[in-house]
A and B are shown apart, each in its own frame.
Chain A
Amino acid sequence: MMNEKYKLFLYSAFALILATAPLYLNSYWVDVLNSVGLYAILALSLNIILGDAGLYNMGHAAFFAVGAYTAAYLNTQFGLPILWALPVSGIVAGIAGLLVARPVVHLRGDYLLIVTVGVGEILRIALINDVFGLTGGPNGIFGIDRPVLFGFKIRKPQEFFYLIWGFVAVTIFLFYRLKNSRFGRALDYLREDMTAAEGSGIDTGRYQLYAFMVGAAWAGMAGTLYASKMSIISPESFSFWESVLIFIIVILGGSGNIAGVLLGTFLIIGLPEAFRGFANARMWFFGLAMMLMMIFRTEGILPHRPRVFKSLDRQRP
């Protein structure tokens, strides 16, 4: 199909421009791109919960924080290398996702949203209050090691760029495949009609939990990358506003569409930097753009599309 070729060309061109960006951008802009990359991982992970499964989670920063603090704690207390901490904090955040979701996931959209807001706030305040002496209180944890990859210590923004966007690429690769699998379809059915999904033989309760687990685990891994990039983390990095931002990226970019979520991240995180010169006017413009979007294109810039099954054409003579 012509359209497919066009898409492939567009994506490759975009990937090429992005991959070579550190060669011609200064450190400031590379750092902006790093920020975009981290938010892209967060938004893609929330997209599994919010976009695919249709579960309103506005406390996603909580899982980001769990991952960041797990990695920071293991690294500073036990000297565990940051990249080793990556899977560990993913697992810890995934378990946190399961624990949070288990009692509340059956709640209807708006109620679930309020509960997740509450969970996010409880966690943030717990971090400030230094519960069990683990989190370092309002000052947070500092002195987190830089990641070392094959004996090479990652320090400069340009180096972090490839680590972060490498992780984004792996995430896209895996999530795209996941979306086009039995698991991904099951999440679609949940979002569309819970009763019909259950009636078609899908264990809706279990898939809701799985969605939360995968989303939380990935947010946790994003937290690890963030902790090592900043080398210091504190509760203020995981505020309610962060959850709102990630939520907006998914809704605005296109729930359930990976390309849409990436586009949304560039618009929400990247654009305000580009218009920094306009100071507060940019936020005004921003708010207005968002309102117009929600009136005229509620499904997001690039919405979810039904899957195309290529093998189907092959089966037909």
Chain B
Amino acid sequence: MSLLSIRNLTKRFGGLTAVNKVSFDVEEGAIVGLIGPNGAGKTTVFNLITGNYRPDEGDILFAGTSIKALRTHKIVSMGIARTFQTIRLFQKVSVLENVLAGRHCRMKAGLVAGMLKTPFEKKEEREALRYCVEELEFVGLKGQESQVADSLSYGNQRLLEIARALASEPKLLILDEPAGGMNEQETEALVGLIGKLKGRGLTILLIEHDMSLVMRACEHLVVLEYGCKIAEGPPETVKNDPKVIEAYLGAD
């Protein structure tokens, strides 16, 4: 059974069909790239998976359970975490507090425990802090815990989003253009980071326009155009697929 299974997914915005009967599977431990020209519906697929939009037709199965009707925070607690195409950090709070946001769904202390600072609450806070510092170290932001998020460079903000997603201990990590706005060195480091994530046993689904990154990092590609899936397979096959070449370069 695949970790994530997209079945005949359709989403319409008024008269526009943004996603049209798209089906694909993401196997556990795989790194899958979702590519296609601008406006192909890639981010819409992501928003459907994470519950930001509701599909009009079709289903989304995560580890065999339908998640299409669940709210986003519920989907996160089931094990799907994401980053955003346009960075959506909590700009005015510290780097560490940003990561703690991702840890939230794995913690339990509520209103009363917070007011009374029960031993359970203190222990949980300590463990959460330690976990989040480790995730920051993992993505390479150690030592910047106390900085305000919007003071980080663009590339580091992207890494912080990944750390925040990782703090929720996801099984599936969804990255929406993780290399967007990164320079060559940062992109290189990102490829390394994606490899390390795979080493941790994470399954990754990513959208990316940087083809060199996609070709190196992904094992499997799904190509969308005008909301429809036009090709799927290993990078080498997809790269030489006439329909894909036509979609990217245009027909004669």
Contacts and interface: CB of A to CB of B under 8 A. Distances in A.
B81 interface: yes
Q: Is the interface of A mostly helix, strand, loop or mixed?
A: helix
A200 B133 contact: no
B170 to A, nearest CB: 9
Nearest to B76: A201
Band of interface residues on B: 35 or more
A258 B104 CA distance: 23
Contact of A174 (B82, B92, B115, B126): B115
Interface residues of A, number: 35
Interface in A202-222: 202-205, 210, 214
Nearest to B147: A306
B96 A182 contact: no
Contact of A185 (B74, B77, B104, B145): B104
Contacts of B100: 185
Interface stretch (A4-12, A126-134, A186-194): A186-194
A312 B133 contact: yes
Given A181-B125, A315-B133, A188 B105 contact: no
A201 B129 contact: no
B88 A195 contact: yes
A196 B52 CA distance: 11
Nearest to B100: A185
Contact of B101 (A178, A185, A311): A185
A159 interface: no
A186 B114 CA distance: 12
Interface in B109-137: 109-111, 113-117, 121, 124-126, 128-130, 133
Interface string B71-103: 111101100011010001111111011001110
A196 B102 contact: no
Contacts of B240: none
A312 B88 contact: no
A53 to B, nearest CB: 13
| Of A186, A198, A201, A204, most B-chain CB atoms within 10 Å | A201
A199 B104 contact: no
Given A199-B52, A201-B104, A204-B73, A192 B91 contact: yes
Contact of A188 (B82, B93, B114, B165): B93
B126 A311 contact: yes
Contacts of A186: 104
B114 A178 contact: yes
A306 B73 contact: no
B129 A315 contact: yes
A100 B68 CA distance: 30
Given A181-B109, A311-B129, A198 B73 contact: yes
A178 B102 contact: no
A177 interface: yes
B88 A196 contact: yes
B168 interface: yes
A308 B146 CA distance: 7
A300 interface: no
Contact of B129 (A195, A204, A210, A312): A312
B104 A198 contact: no
A197 interface: yes
Contacts of B102: 200-201
A192 B93 contact: yes
B107 A182 contact: yes
Instruction: Give the top 3 A-B pairs by smallest Cβ distance, nearest first.
Output: A181-B114, A201-B105, A201-B76
Given A178-B115, A185-B100, A197-B101, 11 more contacts: A174-B115, A182-B110, A182-B121, A188-B97, A193-B91, A196-B88, A196-B89, A198-B72, A199-B76, A307-B94, A308-B146
28 contacts: A174-B115, A177-B115, A177-B117, A181-B125, A182-B104, A182-B109, A182-B125, A183-B114, A188-B90, A192-B91, A192-B92, A195-B52, A196-B84, A196-B89, A196-B90, A198-B71, A199-B82, A199-B88, A200-B76, A200-B81, A200-B101, A201-B81, A202-B73, A202-B105, A210-B111, A306-B148, A309-B146, A312-B146
